[in-house]
Structure 1
């Protein structure tokens, strides 16, 4: 079954198809960005780890501090 009149032109069908696809992509990207922004404001849940109940030796604490200092952010948004 073909569409009547000017809607049967393949250029019009292509235009409507591109418009529909771009609208869906625009909406989905907007919703993803909105979700990401809302999730960033929510506090992270604290997850208990079994090693938290085991006291660390001074050498282990030093090694952990070295790793954390390398992973901490120096200038905004960049890792050292």
Structure 2
């Protein structure tokens, strides 16, 4: 079965080629975005902070404890 003359026109072939390339690019970018979204859902690795290895003085520990106690939730679920 032969192809009709209207499909052998170079403009129609170019149109189909452009549509095929655009569809391929659209699918590729969609898959990349989906992969990026899935990767961002996974929890981040814990980042080491230099102050974690520095021992605190008793005054610093006391001050830190006071700040934490102010930020802790009461039995009603509100901040103090």
- Structure 2 residue runs without a partner (length 5+): 47-52, 55-80
- TM-score (normalizing by structure 2): 0.51
What is the RMSD of the two structures over their aligned residues, measured on CA atoms? 2.7
1:43 Cα offset (Å):
1.9
- Counterpart CA distance in 2 for 1:44 and 1:4 is 58
- Runs of 4+ more than 3 Å apart: none
Larger radius of gyration: 2
Q: Does residue 14 of structure 1 match 2:35? A: no
Report the alpha carbon displacement of residue 44 of structure 1 after superposing the two structures with TM: 3.7
Query: What stretches of structure 1 of length at least 5 have no aligned partner?
Result: 47-55, 59-80
Aligned residues: 50
Aligned to 2:27: 27
